[in-house]
Amino acid sequence: MGVTVDVHQVYKYPFEQVVASFLRKYPNPMDKNVISVKIMEEKRDESTGIIYRKRIAICQNVVPEILRKVSILKVPNIQLEEESWLNHQERNMAIRSHCLTWTQYASMKEESVFRESMENPNWTEFIQRGRISITGAGFLNCILETFASTFLRQGAQKGIRIMEMLLKEQCGAPLAE
């Protein structure tokens, strides 16, 4: 089956400031679930100027204790892989991330884009679609997908709040119309 969560946000800050804040977002005291983020690969395509990054995030396992009675869910940490393509010239950054933990039972994928807002070139639009599907857990599939959907929605909203806070700290008040 699976669940999908869509997020759309306009940051009233220029693209370059939003991307810089995104790349520094974690670890952060506002989200103690993200333990570390490590750049695994970074390269620039000389012909296009696009910067490719691959990062691995280590996050605390947030599955409720009651569900961790199932042996496959008893892991202390979860690993996420994020790949991004930053195009300064076109002022957009595409991001793909997926979970590296529990791949035989679950699929968690997110696709996101930061781009210059059509409404105002000094603002940045953020669009994200996350999809989670659980298989191989029998009757727990639906319960785990419901939990995952709630967690994904709350995580997206928390990520937006953290970005807004970082942008305000690092860049001052948002830009007016």
- Annotate 43-81 with DSSP letters as a single string: EE-TTT-PEEEEEEEEEE--S-TTGGGSGGG--SEEEEE
pLDDT tens digits for 43-64?
Answer: 999 999 999 999 999 998 877 6
Residue 86 lies in a domain: yes
Task: Indicate the number of domains in the chain.
Answer: 1
The better pLDDT of the pair 137, 151 is held by 151
CATH label of the domain that carries residue 161:
3.30.530.20
Range of the domain at 153: 2-171
Least confident residue range of 79-83, 141-145, 148-152: 141-145
Residue 177 lies in a domain: no
Residue 155 has pLDDT above 90, yes or no: no
Write down the pLDDT at residue 151: 80
Measured between alpha carbons, how far is residue 99 from residues 10, 18, 174 in Å?
Answer: 26, 24, 33
Residue 176 lies in a domain: no
Residue 71 lies in a domain: yes
pTM: predicted TM-score of the whole model, two decimal places: 0.88
Tokens of 43: 């390269």
